[in-house]
């Protein structure tokens, strides 16, 4: 009998794979109804396939109606983690705020669903509709659980798209799987190269991690710096994200980087970001939804 041992090179794992496995474990620990056998079907999480469907098969959403070309505002929130028929009570505070401080549109930055079930998207859609203004969504990692992408595209449409708002432009990246993929990268550069007075980039995953205090939320640090460089070169005003459930604000080479807190009821820092545009001026305001603001 041979006592030869396997070559360790055959079972080696890359640092990027370890990061992705760790991120997946952390994300799944927050989902009470996760089905592992469904998750391992990687075809459902192929960002290139989602990008192709979003840009070639799906009609883009209708741009929101805003009253003026040079004056408009939006409220950005994230991480509702809706269950089927159960929306977070934090949204009551969002409704009350919008009654006092109306905006032209609402943006939701992913993890609208908790486990990717179809009923969760309908609950989230109804909850966002109750807020009043037109609303648009980015896709998050929880939105890809089970058959989440199928339900997301049926309810909200594309996972990667751009919206003109007056003389400004919103660019939504699909970072639900933690990477841009091969097809979305050149598309992103093309979208940022289109002229606009103000460009805002939106995604679920942040560029800046407020917990580790570094540029390392995505699976590849090189990809993070590539996105940051694209935004710098094309004069992007700000990148806004969710995912960490905590507020963060910093600046990198003239690009503001914001992460909004989660609206999930158990989140430690429920808050959003109001962006107000008036001509050349842009104002950013943190909006707390913890019952104290």
What's residue 59's pLDDT? 78
Domain of residue 227, CATH code: 3.60.21.10
- Mind listing the pLDDT tens digit of every residue in the chain (293 residues)? 444 433 333 334 444 444 444 444 444 444 444 344 433 334 445 899 999 999 998 877 777 777 667 899 999 999 999 999 888 999 999 999 999 999 999 999 999 999 999 999 999 999 999 999 999 999 999 999 998 999 999 999 999 999 999 899 999 999 999 899 999 999 999 999 998 999 999 999 998 776 665 555 676 788 898 999 999 999 999 999 999 999 999 998 899 999 999 999 888 889 999 999 999 999 999 999 987 54
| In a domain? residue 293 | no
Q: Which domain holds residue 131?
A: 12-288
Distance of CA 215 to the CA centre of its chain: 16
| In a domain? residue 2 | no
| In a domain? residue 5 | no
Strand ranges of the sheet holding 248-252, from the earlier edge strand across to the other edge = 161-165, 168-172, 198-202, 238-241, 255-259, 248-252
* Overall domain count for the chain: 1
d(CA 279, CA 174): 29
What's residue 216's pLDDT? 54
| In a domain? residue 246 | yes
pTM beyond 0.85: no
| In a domain? residue 4 | no
| In a domain? residue 143 | yes
* Residue 63: strand, helix, or coil: coil
Q: Which residue has the tokens 């939701």?
A: 108
């Amino acid at each position: 009998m041979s006592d030869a041992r396997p070559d360790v090179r055959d079972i080696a794992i890359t640092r990027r794979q370890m990061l992705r496995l760790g991120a997946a474990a952390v994300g799944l620990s927050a989902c009470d109804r996760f089905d592992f056998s469904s998750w391992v079907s990687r075809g459902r999480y192929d960002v290139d396939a989602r990008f192709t469907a979003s840009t070639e098969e799906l009609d883009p959403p209708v741009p929101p109606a805003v009253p003026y070309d040079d004056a408009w505002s939006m409220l950005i929130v994230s991480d509702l983690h809706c269950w089927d028929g159960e929306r977070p009570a934090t949204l009551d505070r969002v409704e009350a705020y919008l009654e006092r401080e109306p905006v032209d549109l609402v943006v939701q930055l992913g993890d609208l669903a908790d486990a990717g079930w179809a009923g969760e998207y309908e609950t989230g859609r109804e909850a966002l509709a109750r807020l009043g203004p037109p609303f648009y969504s980015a896709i998050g990692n929880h939105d890809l659980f089970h058959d989440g992408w199928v339900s997301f595209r049926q309810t909200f449409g594309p996972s990667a798209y751009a919206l003109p708002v007056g003389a400004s432009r919103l660019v939504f990246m699909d970072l639900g799987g933690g990477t841009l993929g091969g097809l979305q990268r050149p598309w992103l550069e093309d979208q940022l190269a289109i002229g606009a007075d103000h460009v805002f980039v939106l995604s679920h995953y942040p560029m800046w991690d407020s917990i580790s205090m570094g540029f390392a939320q995505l699976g590849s640090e090189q990809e993070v710096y590539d996105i940051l460089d694209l935004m710098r070169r094309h004069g992007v005003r700000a990148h806004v994200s969710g995912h960490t459930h905590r507020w963060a604000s910093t600046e990198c080479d003239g690009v503001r980087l914001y992460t909004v807190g989660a609206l999930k009821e158990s989140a430690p820092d429920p808050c959003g970001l109001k962006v107000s545009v008036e001509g050349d001026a842009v104002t950013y305001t943190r909006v707390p939804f913890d019952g104290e603001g």
